[in-house]
Structure 1
Amino acid sequence: MYTIKELYSLEHSLAKDYLTQFEYPWQALAGIKEFIIELGKTLDDSYQEVSENVWIHKSAHVFESAYIGAPCIIGPEAEVRHGAFIRGSALVGANCVVGNSVELKNVILFDNVQVPHYNYVGDSILGYKSHMGAGSITSNVKSDKKLVVIKSKTEQIETGLKKIGAMLGDYVEVGCNSVLNPGTIIGKHSNIYPTSCVRGVIPENSIFKNSGEIIEKETIL
């Protein structure tokens, strides 16, 4: 439930070839900047390099008040709304929504991801059609500044990294005003209740109600 293959449908991202080099998604974080710069050089003329190392698809809608830092790629039909702050090292997939007062830093957003209202997403990878409700954020540094450890009920994985946000699998729904603590992993098709404080590994097809109550979704035949 931690691996890239288990979390993501790679055909829904320009990062497919890059991500296949790694077993775990957090291993990809360190190279996102360099990956975007090299990928940008290979894009066809449907993208426009609007400033150095910033490529925006001609069908994307980027509000004039948005800040786009380098390096960055914004995909087809994506919408970057008023007051968005993309600090750099961001791959924004096709049909994504980056909303008002949203901040992105060192991230990969798969296609159709929505971070539409007052979200902070840093050092994170968000899978296909994942959605973060208004005010939900990824916390990417521990308060004690120690290295992040990925923790499940059965094991702990030392990452060797100080900064890791959250890894959201495909179709994850995060409720409004939730905080995803450093190293949070959320499996495919899982839902997080609003105002939750989430840490550790949440299995796929789960509903996170609180830290003591995580239930499996019922299968509808």
Structure 2
Amino acid sequence: GGTVIKGPVYIGSNVLIGRRCVIGPYTTICDGVTIGSMTYISRSIIMENTDISNHCSVFESILGSHCSLEPGVKLPAFNIYGGTIKVLIKDKMIDSGRMYLGAIVGDEVKVRANTVIPPGTIIQPCTIVR
């Protein structure tokens, strides 16, 4: 009850979306994904069999398959200090030229409760983020 889906959105098969969620435009949710209550996702790609718990926010991000976001995880897409988003690639900070860019999260990543992943962060597969 109370969930809002603002298209265009693609939702695969066997997807469970909790109560009072908002799924914003330009979002792809692949097969077997579970989204907990009061979670906001927009302009993101969520790959198969990923579990996003209650009270999470995912903006302009890519989550790999078989990931787990515990309650209260935030993936913001803007720099609170202003300016474009910088991305660390091969030990070098690269300016993305974008004002909005979330995280890129590899397959089988577990993000612990209430963690905030800074914009432009790349998380390698099979990582636990605390």
**TM-score bin, normalised by smaller chain:** over 0.9
Matched, 1:178 2:115: yes
Instruction: Work out which of the residue numbers 79, 92, 100 in structure 2 matches 1:163.
Output: 100
Question: Larger Cα Rg: Structure 1 or Structure 2?
Answer: 1
Which moved further from structure 2: 157-166 or 103-112? Answer: 157-166
- Structure 1 residues 1-221: aligned runs within 5 Å: 64-151=1-88, 154-193=91-130
Shift of 1:153: 7.0
**2:2/2:19 contact within 8 Å kept:** yes
| 2:77 partner amino acid | N
Task: Give me the whole-angstrom Cα distance separating, in 2, the residues matched to 1:155 and 1:128.
Answer: 27
Task: Give me the whole-angstrom Cα distance separating, in 1, the residues matched to 2:91 and 2:60.
Answer: 25
**2:88/2:122 contact within 8 Å kept:** no
Q: CA RMSD in A?
A: 1.2
Greater relative contact order (CA < 8 Å, ≥ 6 in sequence): 2
Task: Give me the whole-angstrom Cα distance separating, in 2, the residues matched to 1:67 and 1:154.
Answer: 40
Task: Give me the whole-angstrom Cα distance separating, in 1, the residues matched to 2:90 and 2:11.
Answer: 37
Task: Give me the whole-angstrom Cα distance separating, in 2, the residues matched to 1:175 and 1:128.
Answer: 17
Please give the TM-score of this superposition, normalised by the length of structure 2.
Answer: 0.95
Aligned length: 130
Runs of 4+ in 1 over 2 A off after TM superposition: 151-154
**2:53/2:72 contact within 8 Å kept:** no
Task: Give me the whole-angstrom Cα distance separating, in 2, the residues matched to 1:166 and 1:78.
Answer: 22
* Other structure's SS at 1:150 match: strand
Please give the TM-score of this superposition, normalised by the length of structure 1.
Answer: 0.57
Shift of 1:98: 1.4
**2:5/2:22 contact within 8 Å kept:** yes
Identity %: 23
| 1:116 partner amino acid | S
Task: Give me the whole-angstrom Cα distance separating, in 2, the residues matched to 1:111 and 1:77.
Answer: 10
| 1:82 partner amino acid | R
Unmatched 5+ stretches in structure 1: 1-63, 194-221
